[in-house]
Amino acid sequence: MEKTAQLKEFLKDLFSSQRLAVLATQSKTQPYGSLIAFMATEDLKHLLFATTRATRKYANISKNPKIAMVVDSRSNQEADFHQAAAVTATGSVKEVVGPQKRRFQKLYLSKHPYLKEFVSSPTCALLRMDVETYYVVRQFQNVVELHIKK
């Protein structure tokens, strides 16, 4: 089993190199996937993303805050079958409001400055995923879990 510090460094490197993730939410009848721009906090306890409140993902999250987010390193080449890594983060999400919003918004925009107008819109919600577990898959089937302590 990998050392926790090495695994955390791997996650930080992956998250800093990737701008997009796939978000999985759940409605009453079925799951729903969305491509989102994301940002990880330095301690890996939170993943941030933004969406307008009129989206299906926001409606799903409002009814069921349990989500999953997938970040990967694929390049759509044959080598990905042996070299790509994928991370699934599971946890719950809530909208960032109050005094924390400015701090998390600044952090999010440090990675995605081109989304400033979008994130500043009154119709946009900045969301914070509280990560419970990261599932890291490398070398096609090597799976390691990292549980995040609150």
Helix (H, G, I), strand (E, B) or coil at 81: helix
Tell me the CATH number at 99. 2.30.110.10
Q: Could you list the mean pLDDT of each consecutive 10-residue stretch along the chain, which spans 150 residues?
A: 83 97 94 97 97 97 97 85 90 95 96 97 97 90 84
| Cα separation values, 135 from 43, 51, 126, Å | 16, 25, 24
Q: What pLDDT does residue 2 have? A: 54
Q: Is the dihedral of CA 26, 91, 11, 58 positive or negative?
A: positive
Structure tokens given for 99: 């005094």
Say what the pLDDT of residue 41 is: 97
Give the count of domains, the chain. Answer: 1
Global pTM value: 0.93
The reported pLDDT for the residue numbered 109 is 98
Residue 128: what pLDDT?
98
Query: What pLDDT does residue 1 have?
Result: 42
The pLDDT of residue 150 is 67
Q: Which residue range(s) make up the domain with 46?
A: 4-147
